[in-house]
Structure 1
Amino acid sequence: MSELREGLDKVLEKYVTDGPVPGAVALVARGDQVDVRAAGFADVEGTSPVARDSIFRIASISKPITAAAMMLLVEDGRIALDDPVATWLPELASPKVVRTPSSPVDDVVPAVRPITVADLLSFRAGYGFPADFALPALALLFNDLRQGPPQPQLVAPPDEWMATLARIPLLHQPGEAWLYNTASDIQGVLIARVAGRPLPEFLAERIFEPLGMTDTGFAVPAEKLDRFVSYYRHGPAGDAAGGAGGGEGGGTGGGGLELVDAPDGQWSRLPAFPSGAGGLVSTVDDWLAFGRMLLGGGGTAGGSAGGTTAGRRLLSEESVRLMTTDHLTRAEREAGALFLEGQGWGYGGSVDIEPIDPWNVRGRYGWVGGTGTTAHVVPSTGTVTVLLSQVAMTGPTPPDLMRDFWRCAATSD
């Protein structure tokens, strides 16, 4: 795979060594063959080089992990996909919906049916980001719930957060439209309430420990801060739509880099609100372990290419199938094209259904994170790809760094 390593080096040289990104780690794995390349530094001062075990804020590539946790509870028999979430989230027992997406927030009608677990997992619960960030109801998500770029120490605790959410009208009736982001945060609260324990504890016991994801969590302990990179954005800050969109994509923007968070900042202690939408930190090898589990049909990877270890499984094959299958109609995909770029959505991540770009492979599953991260699995080739960097994106469109990384991984198949 020397061609792949050379390609990854060229991508990192273009955007890191000679480009605007301080540091990045790129990983492509096929079976037991893993190629990892790292370039640059943990901060703009160049105090320490980025390495394979560097820890990054992974933002929205947390979403597939949260969806997997939901499916664990389904398999446990604690909750079902068609269950109304109001059983555990009574704040959502009688949601209101704006009469039209552009209506004022006080022009509402009752929801015609309950929000279900499947609605949350498929992002069709009625809450979230549409293509038009100027709609009146969106302002409440950004201002009152602090949806957008991750800022873990500034978000209210789950019960208070849910009380606020209950006062915000849905943008669409449950089940009628795909809307981005908010449903993963609601999933995080739902997991904690169904499990009867905080989300960080549930994820640690049921996902991170079985998969050996030793550096993944909602905070970085003091003894690991020397491996934690700084996080930046392009200055001056992007426009309202870019920031409101959680920084999920976008180009390099203008101006120099501004520090958003240092290693001893917002991720140095557990937050009051553990965000299922984008609150995790991780490494390329930790996400690789999660990706291999998906490729193995839910079996605990144990450092192999997938399958089971001593007969142990994390998820059933059916749960993985549901996670990695597109659940949207053509109209929903078209309405969500700003984010999805013509592809579909499973549970917690996008699913490729059309070969629009060179890297699109039918069944490819994964997502991008607004802190400069992306991770996918490609079942047809047995491939996991992970790219972690540290500069916030400026809008919903993946930047050239990600596109070139995807192109490099795809052309080396």
Structure 2
Amino acid sequence: MNKLVIQLPLLFAVLTGQYSISPEKAGLSKKRLHRLDKTMHEFVDQGKLSGVQTVIMRNGMIGHYDTYGHADIDSKKALRDDSIFRIYSMTKPIVSVALMMLYEEGKFLLDDPVHKYIPEFKDLKVYKPAFTKNDLRSPIINLWPFNKIRTVQKAKKTMTIIDLLRHTSGFGYGWGPNTYVDRKYRKAKILNRKNSKDFIEKLSGIPLYHEPGTGWRYGVSTDVCGYLVEILSGQSLDEFLSTRIFKPLNMVDTHFQLPKNKIPRFTSNYINNIPKKFRKLAKVLGISFNPDGELMEIDHADSSEFTENITFFSGGGGLVSTTKDYLQFCKMILNKGELNGARILGPKTMELITEDHLKFIPHEGGPLSLPNNGTSFGLGFSVVKNNAAKEIIGSVGTHGWGGAAGTFFGIDPKEDLIFILMIQLVDFNNLKISNTFQTMVYQSIVE
């Protein structure tokens, strides 16, 4: 009987995919990890998050894995260790790796013109502002008819594939102060297309924000990378990622379209309450909010767009995944492109991907400001350059990224460290939760 009692928990752990957790072997302090739990749990207890899941892996050992709160608030469905999250832009590092796999196969060179493989981009136009940045500071410039003055010219510089990988292509998202190009993106509903070909055709008709290679601007560049994967491999992006990355890395719960049998494990997505001073503006803009100050559900697990028939595989933000799956991907990155005998990329390619590729390239607009004094960008990943400038504890050389619903990860080669945060809240910036999580991760390291 005692033998059975001992073996059943082990069998359960194997069946449910649970890890052996040892803070001591990971060089982490149990006492300090309690601080992490308390801090992250407070976000849930105070009604700022529905649930939170965190993991820390160091020296090849899981030192922390915590799950707290709800997957869905209304039904009180508990968050589980194997819950599935919308990872949105944490799709980008995966798709960037996929494209670099084809680079290693000799399918292209990084300085190849994009139009060599996507003819629709042969004669791209670029927006040329009629006024300087100093002129734009005047409120008069934003009034009619001055705000209608613009020029659109043929791009002088050629967009290359490396421009797509490092976000220097001139593409954006349409997130901005309602400029001419912003309006073009919104009118095109650029990420709401029926398939990747339709996406490319629409995008080719929108002027670039700036000349390729002259500035960094966050946008749909990685969606174009996803289309390149399809063109160069002859497979759909969904099929390529599944066969070449997910299956070799045992990422069994990462999908563009969530299978029906996995919907019970899916989480709901939320928006935080809008402060009173912005509610009148929100009403004018047609933005919903909960007047009672509670989290408001914007995408229910049972009726989510991710459970519908997906025909456009967004390389920039279309995946759902689990913490366990994404940890597998991070382990491969930390291990220089290989995991458990599955070689995804070569070590020298991994070095190139995680280098600073913006040393001589400035920020050129948009809500995300890179490069800055503390952080730059590689090929699909952010790269830490200076901890003091970032004003947060960490290590130079750490690479990672985040997603639109607050998911976040970091890979620190110096500390042999991986840390992952999973939440589902689209307006998470005011919580500074990723910085809080990172601080609590590094303070837990004691040896």
What TM bracket, shorter-length normalisation? 0.7 to 0.9
1:42 is matched with which residue: 71, 81, 92?
A: 71
What CA distance in whole angstroms lies between the structure 1 residues aligned with 2:443 and 2:360? 28
Instruction: Judge which range, 285-294 or 270-279, deviates more.
Output: 270-279
Q: What is the SS of the residue equivalent to 2:54?
A: strand
Mark the CA change 1:46 to 1:382 in structure 2 (over 3 Å): closer, same or farther: farther
Match of 1:3 in 2: 31
Task: Look up the match of 1:92.
Answer: 121
Structure 1 residues without counterparts, runs of 5 or longer: 148-153, 243-252, 303-308
Alignment of 1:227-242 (within 5 A): 227-236=265-274
Shift of 1:339: 3.6
Given candidates 53, 75, 84, the residue that maps to 1:25 is 53
Match of 2:335 in 1: 296
Does 1:220 find its partner at 2:250?
Answer: no
Residue 426 of structure 2 is matched in structure 1 by: 392
How far apart are 1:101 and its partner, in Å?
8.3
1: CA distance, partners of 2:376 / 2:217:
12
Partner of 1:362: 396
> Displacement of 1:164 after TM fit?
0.9
Which one has the largest radius of gyration? 2
Unaligned runs of 5+ in 2: 1-22, 24-29, 132-146, 283-290
Matched residues in 1 for 2:161 and 2:149: separation? 25
Partner of 2:9: none
Q: Find the counterpart in structure 2 of residue 249 from structure 1.
A: none
Q: Quick one: which amino acid aligns to residue 53 of structure 1?
A: D
Q: Which residue of 2 aligns with 1:117?
A: 161
Which one of 138, 145, 148 corresponds to residue 189 of structure 2? 145
1:327 aligns with 2:357: yes
Aligned to 2:297: 259
In structure 2, distance between residues paired with 1:230 and 1:337: 26
Shift of 1:206: 0.9
Residues 201, 377 of structure 1: alpha-carbon distance in 2 compared, 3 angstrom cutoff: same
- CA contact under 8 A between 1:92 and 1:166: conserved in structure 2? yes
In 2, the alpha carbon distance for the partners of 1:125 and 1:254 equals 43
**Stretch moving more, 10-19 or 186-195:** 10-19
Task: List per-residue Cα deviations over 1:235-271 (Å, max 9, x = no partner).
Answer: 45989x99xxxxxxxxxx9943222212232111342
In the alignment, the residues of structure 2 paired with residue 49 and residue 217 of structure 1 have an alpha-carbon distance, to the nearest angstrom, of 22
Give me the whole-angstrom Cα distance separating, in 2, the residues matched to 1:323 and 1:254.
46
After superposition, the Cα gap between the structure-2 partners of 1:159 and 1:101, relative to the gap in structure 1 and judged at 3 Å, is farther
Give the whole-Å Cα distance in 2 for the aligned partners of 1:21 and 1:220.
Answer: 23
Identity among equivalent pairs (%): 31
Q: 1:327/1:399 Cα in 2 relative to 1: closer, same or farther (>3 Å)?
A: farther
Give the partner amino acid of 1:379. P
1:200 deviation in Å?
A: 0.6
Aligned CA-pair RMSD: 2.7
Name the SS for the 2:202 alignment partner. helix
The 3-state SS of whatever aligns with 2:343 is coil
Q: What is the TM-score when the length of structure 1 is the normalising length?
A: 0.86
The equivalent residue for 1:273 is 312
Count of aligned residue pairs for this structure pair = 386
CA contact (8 A) 1:233 1:393 kept: yes
What per-residue deviation string (whole Å, max 9, x for no partner) do you get for residues 154-186 of structure 1?
433111111111110011111001010210111
- Structure 2 CA distance for aligned equivalents of residues 63 and 339 of structure 1: 17
Answering whether residue 434 of structure 2 is matched by residue 402 of structure 1, we say yes
SS in 1 for 2:248: helix
Match of 1:200 among 238, 252, 255: 238
Q: Supply the distance in 2 between the matched residues of 1:110 and 1:155 (Cα, whole angstroms).
A: 25
> Structure 2 vs 1, CA of residues 3 and 129 (structure 1 numbering), >3 Å: closer, same or farther?
farther
Q: Is the 8 A contact 1:221 1:269 kept in 2?
A: no
Between 1:17-26 and 1:57-66, the stretch displaced more is: 17-26
Q: C-alpha separation between the residues in 1 aligned to 2:44 and 2:105?
A: 44
Name the counterpart of 2:87.
58
C-alpha distance in structure 1 between counterparts of 2:251 and 2:43, whole Å: 28
